[in-house]
């Protein structure tokens, strides 16, 4: 799960790269920081993502009606390939999601079938969490659909932070009206990502906390997503183990691996 969080950030940063290359963004603030918004997001993103990664974690989903934890392992490569497999509880054990580019497949061990997610289901919840299927794939689209701007840097709540605002391009068909990324200025560790709807009302907040050393890097080991309209609900991902640059080849992200 964390993998795609990283991906989102990567995507954000990639898009900034795009803008940087095309000379669209040349903010004064960024010059003072000696980094473009793209580079900042790239830094943020890089924290979670090497050329490839492996991780182990637990996702705890709390809703008004139930609370459950899924233990899962995940692999990623580049910005558009990932595989997530559920290890526990028993009912879901072996259930896996493969994402390659904009396509997603789920493997269902109980019926031993692979199904491809239709585009109409992309806005639906992933495994009952507060993340959508789209969250898992959209990073690669974000680069094309958003513009990036450094909107704040300096001290806030006695922390030196930077803030990058991502706005959709006018013609882009996207869910969010605005995405605000807040990170610590020092290590570019992310603190918040806030998602705003089309009316620029806060829809959900992703919070990063508990910075720990995992896989040789200092990264936030807890990611919490809270929907604004149901503040009593949440999805919390706790990372237990991370390995970076483990040398996965593309063939690993295949339907065959998915069914294993």
Partner 1 sequence: MNSLRYGWRNLWRNTRRTLITLTAVTLSTAILITSYALMDGLLVHAVSSATNLVVGEVQIHAPRYLADRSIYRALADPARILRGAREKKIRAAPRRYGYGLVAVGTKSAGALFWGVDPELERTTFDLAGHMAKGQFLAEMPSRGMILGRKLARSLQAEVGSEIVVVVQAADGSLGNELFTVTGIFKAAGDAIDRNAALIHAADFTELFVSGDRIHEIALNSRGQMSTQDLATLAADLASKEEVKTWQQLLPAVSDMVNLFDVFIWIFGLIFILAAGMGVMNTMLMATYERIPEFGIIKALGATPWRIIRDVATEALALAALATLLGTALGLAGSYYLQEVGLDTSLFAGSYSVGGVAFDPIWRAAIGLKVVLVPVVLMVIISLVASLYPAGLAARLDPVKAIHRP
**In the Cβ-directed half-sphere of 87, how many Cα atoms lie within 13 Å?**
9
- Closest separation in Å from C-beta 115 to partner 1: 4
**How would you classify the pairing of strands 81-88 and 67-77?**
antiparallel
- List C-alpha distances in Å: 48 to 22, 69, 92, 197, 232: 26, 22, 26, 26, 28
Rounded distance between C-alpha atoms, residue 121 and residue 81, angstroms: 19
Output 93 or 217, the one with its CB closest to partner 1.
93
- Closest separation in Å from C-beta 173 to partner 1: 19
- Closest separation in Å from C-beta 175 to partner 1: 17
Question: Which residue has 């806005």 as its token pair?
Answer: 123
Which residues make up the interface to partner 1 (CB under 8 A)? 61, 63-68, 89, 91-92, 95, 106, 108, 110-111, 113, 115-118, 120-121, 124-125, 127-128
Question: Which residue has 């095309």 as its token pair?
Answer: 22
Output 186 or 260, the one with its CB closest to partner 1.
260
Output 171 or 232, the one with its CB closest to partner 1.
232
Output 113 or 156, the one with its CB closest to partner 1.
113
Which residues, 6+ apart, have CB-to-CB distance to 34 below 8 Å?
none
- Closest separation in Å from C-beta 118 to partner 1: 5
Helix axis angle for 37-48 and 2-22, nearest 10°, is 160
Which residue, 11, 36, 52, 51, is CA-closest to 143?
Answer: 11
- Closest separation in Å from C-beta 153 to partner 1: 41
Output 115 or 172, the one with its CB closest to partner 1.
115
């Amino acid at each position: 799960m964390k993998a795609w969080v990283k991906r989102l950030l990567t995507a954000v940063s990639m898009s900034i790269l795009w803008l940087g290359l095309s000379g669209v963004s040349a903010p004064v603030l960024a010059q003072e920081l000696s980094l473009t918004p793209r580079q900042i997001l790239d830094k943020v993103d890089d924290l979670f993502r090497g050329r490839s990664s492996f991780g182990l974690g637990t996702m705890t989903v709390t809703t008004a009606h139930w609370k459950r934890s899924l233990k899962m392992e995940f692999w990623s490569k580049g910005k558009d390939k990932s595989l997530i497999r559920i290890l526990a509880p028993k009912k879901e054990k072996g259930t896996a999601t493969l994402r390659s580019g904009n396509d997603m497949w789920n493997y269902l061990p109980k019926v031993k079938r692979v199904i491809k997610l239709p585009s109409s289901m992309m806005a639906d919840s992933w495994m009952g969490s507060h993340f959508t299927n789209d969250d898992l794939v959209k990073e690669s689209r974000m680069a094309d659909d958003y513009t990036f701007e450094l909107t704040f840097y300096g001290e806030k709540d006695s922390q030196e932070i930077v803030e990058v605002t991502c706005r959709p391009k006018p013609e882009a068909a996207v869910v969010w009206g605005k995405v605000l990324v807040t990170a610590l200025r020092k290590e570019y560790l992310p603190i918040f990502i806030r998602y705003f709807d089309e009316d620029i009302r806060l829809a959900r907040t992703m919070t990063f906390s508990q910075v720990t050393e995992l896989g040789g890097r200092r990264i936030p080991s807890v990611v919490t997503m809270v929907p604004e309209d149901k503040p009593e609900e949440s999805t919390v991902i706790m990372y237990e183990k991370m390995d970076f640059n483990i040398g996965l080849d593309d063939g690993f992200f295949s339907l065959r691996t998915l069914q294993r």
